[in-house]
Amino acid sequence: MIASLRKYYWIALMAARTNLAYVGEVAARSVFLAILLYIYLRLWTITYAQSNATRLGDLSLEQMLWYLVATQSIYMSTPKVAQNLDQDVRTGTLAVQLVRPLSFPLYYLWNALGERSVRFGITFLVGSIVALILVGPAPLTVPGYLLLLAALPFAFCLDFLGYFLVGLGAFWLEDTSGVLLIYQKSVMLAGGLLIPMELFPDSIKPIVQALPFSSIVYGPAHLFVHPDLAELGNLLLKQGVAICGFTVCVWFVWTLAVKRVHAMGG
Amino acid sequence: MNAIELHKLRKTYTVKQGSGFGRKTAEVVAVDDISFEIPEGQSVAFIGPNGAGKSTTIKMLTGILHPTSGEASVLGLVPWQDRSKLAYQIGAVFGQRSQLWYHLPPSDTFELLARVYNIGKNDYRKRRDMLIERFGLAEFLNTAVRKLSLGQRMRAEIAASLLHNPKVLFLDEPTIGLDVVACQELRDLVSEWNRQEGLTVLLTSHDAGDIEAVAKRVLVINYGRVVLDDRVVTVRRRYMGSKILGVKFHEIPREIRIPGVTVLKASSYAMKLEVNTEVASIDRVIHKVIQAGPVADITIEDPPLEEIIAHIYSRVNEPDYEEEVIGLS
């Protein structure tokens, strides 16, 4: 068991180190994040002014910008799980991993976690610097950071399972990019990337909150600016249930898919 | 004891043909009831034209693919049922797919593989140091893989696949894209490992040089069936039935006309002849050559294996070709 955990931990470590080779790319994304955060600040400043409110959805303007730093960092750090898996299936690269004493889905999971930890770290750091300059450190609290760190691993695992399921579609579909686009936009819109759940219309709020996407983006980001232990408990429960459900789906689809592995390369 | 055994192994795929409502499914036979055995420590070349079923067979033997029917065992294990257990005892190199981490040095991949295969710290260090020395990896061990030449990368690939001391090594076109020197280095290393460590090697390649240098036995597969199974030297002898004779003279020789002998190349004082040994015996040809003029030097060579393979492929593609599977004696 320990030996098994150790091999996956090393895979995550290798993936993290590999991603340090892409610091330039992550930095370039971060410049984009800086511009995005400035635009959001302008938009929300006008929204707060127009509605004569100091708080919207129980968040101040400062908290709103820090909320967006967290949501954008989560969203922008997503590794290309579905695209890579799609390629591995089509080119037969999958074979290289299947001849090793490893679980292929677990290999992919730990690889994605290693990659995402580096990407999230860099993006969040740059986003924090920009937010500090734009609105100052007002809503930052130690519990906020701790609760974010507690919720993030499960959010990343859940997100991975979603993307992995999309990638497995390559065993049946000619092109998975359409399904991928739907999944990405679902995370973006129903996950609360741009607007916290509290500001959603009452008619759709219960539906969106029941979907797993809010546990990936909104949940951890809201805990960061609005730390609450009871909310953490609820979030972990939702994440746990969603992870169990997605894991069963991945296991079922993978069992079917592995029988469809074709020999590539004559 | 046999390292690999196959008995009537078959793999079929269902493919969709046509488009729209007229779309139909058809069954394609990739591997057609093949049977063969490979004893422990033997090196075998598994060759055939593109689409012959080589990779499909190798992927079934490594547990990646499930067969449609038939039986196979590798080191006493059924590959597709005991994939994880078997993975500790086999190594595989897919020439066109790297197992090394592209942005990290080979040393990092070695460290990871030590954990993946649960190799103890001391065993790992000993094994790694031996591979570094034997494969000459020291000079680029800490250089990112993306900065290595293809030859260096393939040396590191094969060393990585031997790190856990496998008993069987599957090499799927390991020399593809390599230059002549890198090819030769790699062949020598695999061949040496086969001889000294008793490693069983199953090699697929389109390069006759690989087959000659690494394998003692050759299995030719086409349309999913084994069409030839014999020793490399026997194939060379049996399949062309010809020799290449190179002759240098002290003086300009008289014209040579012998049935079954073709002049491949000729200059004033030298000529290269291809002798069909089924029509003309070598001693008779040499006798005639000596009569043609004073000989300064004479060499007798086998024809290149490329020609033999091309000849086998062309024969097995003929519709009236009678299947000829020659068992090893």
β-strand partners of B245 = B273, B300
User: Which residues share a beta bridge with B36?
Assistant: B6
A263 touching B, CB under 8 A?
Answer: yes
Q: Are B15 and B160 in a shared domain?
A: yes
At B34 the pLDDT is 93
> Residues B42, B147: one domain?
yes
Q: Inter-chain contact B96–A95, Cβ cutoff 8 Å? A: no
Q: Is A120 helix (H, G, I), strand (E, B) or coil?
A: helix
**How far is the CA of A254 from the CAs of A104, A164, A172, A215, B220, in angstroms?**
9, 10, 12, 24, 34
Residue B54: its chain A contacts at CB < 8 A? 266
**Nearest by CB to A3, which of B102, B118, B172?**
B118
Indicate the pLDDT class of residue B255, thresholds 50, 70 and 90.
Answer: confident
Tell me: pLDDT of A253 over 50. Answer: yes
The bridge status of strand B24-39 relative to strand B69-74 is: unpaired
- For residues B231 and B245, membership in a common domain is answered with no
CA separation for the pair A34, A131 (Å, rounded) = 9
Interchain contact, B63 vs A98, CB within 8 Å: yes
Identify whether residues B148 and B265 lie together within a single domain. Answer: no
Same domain, B119 and B218: yes
**Which residue did the predictor score with more confidence, A163 or B18?**
A163
Q: Across residues B107-126, what is the average pLDDT?
A: 93
> By the CB < 8 Å criterion, does A102 face chain B?
yes
**A266 inside 8 A of chain B by CB:** yes
**Among candidate residues B193, B216, B237, the one where a domain is terminated:** B237
CA angle B316–B60–B183, rounded 5-degree value: 65
Residues B38 and B103 in one domain: yes
Q: Which of B65, B97, B103 sits opposite A96 (nearest CB)?
A: B97
Residue A18 contacts B, CB cutoff 8 Å: yes
Interface test with B, best of A6, A84, A99 (most B CBs within 10 A): A99
Q: Are residues B176 and B267 in the same domain?
A: no
- Which range (B45-49, B209-213, B325-329) has the least confidence? B325-329
Q: Is residue B139 pLDDT above 70, yes or no?
A: yes
Assigned domain for B74 exists: yes
Q: Does B83 touch chain A (CB under 8 A)?
A: yes
Q: Do B55 and A100 touch (CB under 8 A)?
A: no
Do B214 and B129 have their domain in common? Answer: yes
Query: What is the average pLDDT across A159-179?
Result: 93
Residue A106: what pLDDT? 94
pLDDT of residue B76: 93
How deeply is A153 buried, as exposed, middle or buried, from its count of CB atoms within 10 A (0-12, 13-18, 19+)?
Answer: middle
* Contact (CB, 8 A) for B53 and B32: yes
Q: Is A99 on the interface with B (CB under 8 A)?
A: yes
Q: What is the pLDDT of residue A109?
A: 96
Q: Which residue of A has its CA nearest to B68?
A: A259
Query: In angstroms, what separates the C-alpha of B86 from chain A's closest C-alpha?
Result: 8
Same domain for B78 and B210, yes or no, is yes
Q: Are residues B255 and B276 in the same domain?
A: yes
pLDDT at A20: 82
Residues B192 and B274 in one domain: no
Q: Is the pLDDT of residue B54 over 80?
A: yes
| Terminal Cα distance for chain A, rounded | 38
Closest CA to A223 of A54, A62, A67: A67
Nearest CA in chain B to A91: B97
Rg over alpha carbons for chain A, rounded to the nearest Å, is 19
Q: Does B79 touch chain A (CB under 8 A)?
A: no
Each residue's pLDDT tens digit, A36-89: 888 988 888 888 888 888 888 888 888 999 999 999 999 999 999 999 999 988
Q: Is residue A187 within 8 angstroms of chain B, CB to CB? A: no
pLDDT of res. B236? 72
Q: For residue range A208-234, what is the model confidence (pLDDT) as tens digits?
A: 988 999 999 999 999 999 999 999 999
- Residues A17-51 have pLDDT tens digits of 988 877 777 777 778 888 888 898 888 888 888 88
Task: Indicate the pLDDT class of residue B325, thresholds 50, 70 and 90.
Answer: very low
Task: Write out chain B residues lying below 8 Å of A91, CB-based.
Answer: 97
Domain final position from B183, B204, B237: B237
Domain count, chain B: 2
Query: CATH number, domain at B185?
Result: 3.40.50.300
Q: Which amino acid is at B13?
A: Y
Give me chain B's average pLDDT, please. 85
Residue of chain B whose alpha carbon sits nearest to that of A259: B66
- Sorted by sequence, the CB contacts under 8 Å of residue B314 that are 6+ apart come out as none
Least Cα separation, residue B93 to chain A (angstroms): 8
Q: How far apart are CA B318 and CA B328, in angstroms?
A: 24
For residue B318, is pLDDT > 80? no
Place of tokens 């078959």: B10
- Per-residue pLDDT at B301: 80
Q: Give the domain extent around B64.
A: 2-237
CA distance B205 to chain A (A): 11
Q: Tell me the CATH number at B270.
A: 3.30.70
pLDDT at A211: 93
Q: What's residue B321's pLDDT? A: 52
Please report the pLDDT score of residue B324 as a whole number.
Answer: 47
Identify the band that residue B323 occupies on the pLDDT scale cut at 50, 70 and 90. very low
Asked if residue B133 and residue B61 are part of one domain, the reply reads yes
- What is the average per-residue pLDDT within A89-118? 90
State residue B156's pLDDT score.
92
B270 in A contact zone (CB under 8 Å): no
pLDDT at residue number A262: 65
Does B318 map to a domain? no
